[in-house]
Chains A and B, each alone.
Chain A
């Protein structure tokens, strides 16, 4: 099973013959099994040279770089050998036609809201006020005619969803509202860090397909390099990241002491990051039984399947239905 490698400490990546090592500041070497590596995340300061890039290219491994604060900086993806001009043209046709574009944009938003409601249901009290409010706002999402309208309707639902957090967080964690740049409290720090991981994970999965990562529907195409990843993240952020945040905080695996304040931002400290990454990795490997493939598939693979479904949609094979957890 392919996995992600997270490099948290400072050090150097070294290639010796065809083996990859990470050597930390104390000179301790740890081999990295390139054959089974999906992508590498650099969270510490890491030195490397181009011979490393060649090796990563050979094995089709992407790496993602995060800055000192754990914010996403950028991605290196080797030249992609998989291209299908046909698919890219069809994918673009779905952006150019407003109706087709809205269908996909709404699908992403609705699946995201489905997972928000699921989080409220699974973590909440018996108070159904929040869910009821969101449900009553779904009409506006469904009937939106333009992308800004849709974004606005989604924003309102999300607002209520975040309002519900106060009830969903059990261990007296401070919560006011979502603050991104910078995150002002521990919960926001966790969500921001998790969302970055979700985003890079989706980039890596899209990269394995013939989809064009810059051609997106809900987000403006190419407003960011990998805007399609932002689209797909709408579905998976509440499903994977938010529920992870609730679990980790509610069972106290992550506590106040795992954060620190820096330049007005609240951030995970290194122990906190370690805990979060371990839990994230665990979650991505968790499997569910896929009803059509009739076998266990991991959360990570669900993202790839989402990409496959989009390809099928673009080439006129099967109408796209976003993934919605049913259990």
Chain B
């Protein structure tokens, strides 16, 4: 499946609704959401010696490329599962082009690094995710469900903007 961005794979693992909204161009990321700003600053200052923003395809971007290692920098390790899936997706795209790499997830806050290898299981996982993403994007907006992640989500005000039941006058 074309046109899926790494960040969308990440959103898929966190909140299907966020994935859907983002894909339809309904974005809130530019509104000075703190984490986004933090992430950008980090992006510019961490690992200055490596190649910047290696462009794989128009739709896949990777933070840093360092020899045979693909490194993605994350602030905290709170979304490990999603980070791992996103990395597997990058490795999968590269593999289709005949490039084999190992993924490294660097968590700055915890000063922790996690290695990600694309084995058969991983590949399976990516394929399944892509199929699910396709189904989600073809369907209606996934209904709101409160998640622990909501409080830090840029879409929070959007999702919670409704009126409480009116005590009509």
Chain A residues with CB under 8 Å of chain B are 81-87, 114, 117-118, 208, 210, 291-294, 304-305, 308-309, 311-312, 315-318, 321-324, 326
| A84 and B24 contacting across the interface, CB-CB below 8 Å | yes
Closest to B163 in A: A321
Of B30, B140, B162, which is within 8 A of A81 by CB? B30
| B141 and A292 contacting across the interface, CB-CB below 8 Å | no
Q: B164 at interface (Cβ–Cβ under 8 A)?
A: yes
Of A83, A294, A309, A316, which is within 8 A of B161 by CB? A309
| B162 and A87 contacting across the interface, CB-CB below 8 Å | no
| B162 and A312 contacting across the interface, CB-CB below 8 Å | yes
| A305 and B25 contacting across the interface, CB-CB below 8 Å | no
Of B31, B140, B158, B164, which is within 8 A of A311 by CB? B158
Closest Cβ of chain B: how far from A168's Cβ, in Å? Answer: 18
Closest to A88 in B: B25
Cα distance, A81 to B156, chains bound together (Å): 21
Closest to B158 in A: A308
Where chain A touches its partner, the secondary structure class is loop
Q: B119 at interface (Cβ–Cβ under 8 A)?
A: no
| B25 and A210 contacting across the interface, CB-CB below 8 Å | yes
| B141 and A86 contacting across the interface, CB-CB below 8 Å | no
Closest Cβ of chain A: how far from B26's Cβ, in Å? Answer: 5
Q: B167 at interface (Cβ–Cβ under 8 A)?
A: yes
Q: B124 at interface (Cβ–Cβ under 8 A)?
A: no
Cα distance, A125 to B169, chains bound together (Å): 18
Q: Which residues of B contact A315 (CB under 8 A)?
A: 24, 26, 141
Closest Cβ of chain A: how far from B156's Cβ, in Å? Answer: 8
Q: B160 at interface (Cβ–Cβ under 8 A)?
A: yes
Q: B115 at interface (Cβ–Cβ under 8 A)?
A: no
Q: Which residues of B contact A318 (CB under 8 A)?
A: 144, 162
| B157 and A82 contacting across the interface, CB-CB below 8 Å | no
Question: In residues 123-165 of chain B, which contact A (Cβ within 8 Å)?
Answer: 140-141, 143-144, 156-158, 160-164
Residue among B24, B26, B30, B167 with max Cβ neighbours from chain A (10 Å):
B26
Given contacts A83-B25, A117-B169, contact A308 B161 (CB under 8 A): yes
Q: B95 at interface (Cβ–Cβ under 8 A)?
A: no
Question: In residues 75-110 of chain B, which contact A (Cβ within 8 Å)?
Answer: none
Given contacts A87-B24, A305-B157, A308-B157, contact A82 B30 (CB under 8 A): yes
| CB-CB nearest 5 A-B residue pairs | A84-B25, A291-B164, A308-B161, A86-B24, A321-B163
Q: B61 at interface (Cβ–Cβ under 8 A)?
A: no
Q: Which residues of A contact B27 (CB under 8 A)?
A: 82, 84, 210
Q: Which residues of A contact B24 (CB under 8 A)?
A: 84, 86-87, 315
| B163 and A292 contacting across the interface, CB-CB below 8 Å | yes
Closest Cβ of chain B: how far from A120's Cβ, in Å? Answer: 12
Cα distance, A291 to B160, chains bound together (Å): 9
Cα distance, A81 to B160, chains bound together (Å): 24
Q: Which residues of A contact B3 (CB under 8 A)?
A: none
Cα distance, A294 to B30, chains bound together (Å): 23
Closest to A87 in B: B26
